[in-house]
Structure 1
Amino acid sequence: MNDDKITDIEPAPIYVSLELSKRSWLVASLLPECARPSLRTIPAGDSAALLDHLQKLKERAARKAKGPLAIRLCFEIGYDGFWIARMLLANGIDTYVLDPASFLVSRRGKRVKTDRIDAEAMIGILKAYLAGDKSVCRTVAVPTPEEEDARRLMRERSDLVRERTRIISRIRGLLALHGVREVRAIWGGKWADQLDDMRTGDGRPLEQHQRRQIERCFARLELLNDQIKLVEADRAQAITSETTSFPCAEKAVRLEQLKGIGSNSATMLVAEVFCRQFDNRRQLASFIGLAPSPYNSGSVERDQGISKAGNHETRVLLVELAWCWLRYQPASELSQWYRDRYKGRGKRSAKIGIIALARKLLIALWRFVETGLVPQGAELRAT
């Protein structure tokens, strides 16, 4: 009977917060029955030193505590990513990754900010959160290494495409300075032969240094095109391989069945959004940042547009898919809804309408990958 009572005792918490930086980690800890947190600085990235310090904190608290102890640790998500959380969880330490943008801060005057103040404030936030006050902050779900690696695949492609666009714009700008408006080999091909025959607006061949600069830009462009092809080959293998570690690969395959949804878009949506679990459509729209953000105070009522609180790249992709949906799924119920409500009412109305269509399309695609429910009137690709 006494043993049962001992095991039912709630462990006394040792609150710990980490303030991470590139050079050092500041560890703030609050032991049971202590009024103020203690501080300790350890080298950045030294996980062994961190675990050793946590063990010493537990031993120190055990000298005065009469019951079991448990470490409750938190830190802000940032430069170091999630590897620290996975390491701590693997060592049996209760870890919470906090979203710093969700902290409630004072808006009176200038806010004093130091690592010490932030570390001590996080302990107070963690105590309130564990006590049941979920309004003080939001926690970030720690992804598995497979989920994080799947996101990296499509994010690398997005980075390469943006870099390719900058180089193409640079080439066109260099040529436009001398009256050259058309570049036929901009997407690949025999661009060197085209430079031989190219003439400026006043009939001169390209100058020596100008041509060499353009050649180097084309060389970088060719390298980027090759790297994008390699990334897309890795994507195809990750989706179709039987031994793939890509999460929810079957959802990406299902999305590709819909006309207007390409393979890259389907993979990115699954890696960033549909590999997660959502209880309802409101949670889904809020996660992407496509939820409305009204402003109602006293007699003032106005709409501030969408919240834009989620993943920017995914939100941009959904707007692009909404335009593609209108083109490749004109007979669908969503396209008909957009035409009846927004078409022919000006550019502003079209811009507002495409955002609304993107939100509806997101929910329809979510239902499709989860339950197989085809959006009303949508066409599937021939198998």
Structure 2
Amino acid sequence: SSWLITSLSPGNGEKMSKHSVSAGDLAGLFALFSKLREKSRAKTGHNYPIVSIQEAGLDGFWVHRVLEKEGVESHVVDPASIATSRRRRQAKTDRIDGEALLRTLMAYKRGEPRVCAMVLVPSPEEEDRRRSCRERKALIVERVAHVNRIKGLLFSQGIANYEPLRKDRRERLDELWTGDGRALPALMKAQISREVDRLELLLEQIKLVEDERDALIAAQAAAAPPSPVTMLLNLKGIGAEFAANLWSEGLFRHF
């Protein structure tokens, strides 16, 4: 709901200041930047550029893009790469995090090696390209959960040979008998039928996402020069999903 901005200004000694801005309030953020710059100019007689750092998190990269568009030198850091005090390793507050980020930024600008890992921000097109693989991964997790739930319900009735992913899943559901020789209870059968409904919707969505992925790969295959995903698919043992994951998550940049 709010952003905590921790600042260190020339002419203000080693004092770090804290400022709160409503999340998403870009006008308030840039007004704060102007205020900080003006205070620094009044104390030192010089104009200083603004350099910012933020953790890669729920806000994604849109704030970084806005800052760069407005001429702010912006950095996005992998939070797991920032060294923390052993005395404070259990403590995590916005105040502590803000000060740690500032110290990390100053060390990075001094050129200290391996002080942190800055994130290479993808372009909006590269970021959007990741959606298919990430959505498919989430859908597969949901599919596994529904399959396991159906199998678990049936196993509690002594039925262990039912495969929900088979195409004849609905026909076989009508033929099931419990381990003690009874027909499948009506309410349990109704619950499993609803689980099958959700499972079939997931299977349909997985197919749609895979079609989107394949269309994207086909477009790259027709492009020149060959893209990394096209070259990966020429290697034995690498399929469309693995190639698309490598391409979208890692090989969008040069090594």
Query: Could you state the TM-score of these two structures normalised by the residue count of structure 1?
Result: 0.62
Q: Aligned pair count?
A: 253
Contact 1:73 1:94 (C-alpha < 8 Å) held by counterparts: yes
* 2:242 aligned residue: 265
1:223 Cα offset (Å): 0.4
**CA drift at 1:242:** 6.8
Which residue of 1 is the match for residue 118 of structure 2?
139
Q: How does 1:1-383 map to 2 (within 5 A)?
A: 23-35=1-13, 36-108=15-87, 111-184=90-163, 186-241=164-219, 250-278=227-255
The answer on whether the counterparts of 1:86 and 1:142 sit within 8 Å (CA) in structure 2 is: no
CA deviations over 1:199-231 (Å, ceiling 9, x no partner): 111221110111011111111110000000100
CA distance in 1, matches of 2:29, 2:100: 20
Shift of 1:198: 1.3
Q: In angstroms, what is the RMSD of aligned CA positions?
A: 2.3
Alpha-carbon contact 2:2-2:20 (below 8 Å) kept: yes
- Aligned equivalents of 1:38 and 1:109: distance in 2? 20
CA contact (8 A) 2:233 2:239 kept: yes
Q: Relative contact order, CA 8 A, sep 6+: which one is greater?
A: 2
User: Any idea what SS the aligned residue of 1:268 has?
Assistant: helix
> Could you tell me the percent identity over the aligned residues?
42
Q: Distance in 2 between matches of 1:230 and 1:101?
A: 35
Q: Which runs of 5+ in 1 are unaligned?
A: 1-22, 279-383
Measure, in 2, the Cα distance between the counterparts of 1:172 and 1:77: 39
Q: C-alpha displacement at 1:110, in angstroms?
A: 6.0
Inter-partner Cα distance in structure 2 for 1:131 and 1:73: 15
Deviation at 1:111, TM superposition (A): 4.8
Note the residue ranges of structure 2 that are not aligned, 5 or more in a row: none
**TM-score, length of structure 2 as denominator length:** 0.90
Say if 1:99 and 1:189 are closer, same or farther in 2 by CA, change over 3 A. Answer: same
Change (3 A) 1:93 1:109: closer
For 2:226 and 2:4, locate their aligned partners in 1 and report how far apart those are by CA, in whole Å.
40
Letter in 2 for 1:130: K
Q: Separation in 2 of the partners of 1:44 and 1:243? A: 42
Shift of the 86–160 alpha-carbon distance from structure 1 to 2, 3 Å rule, reads same
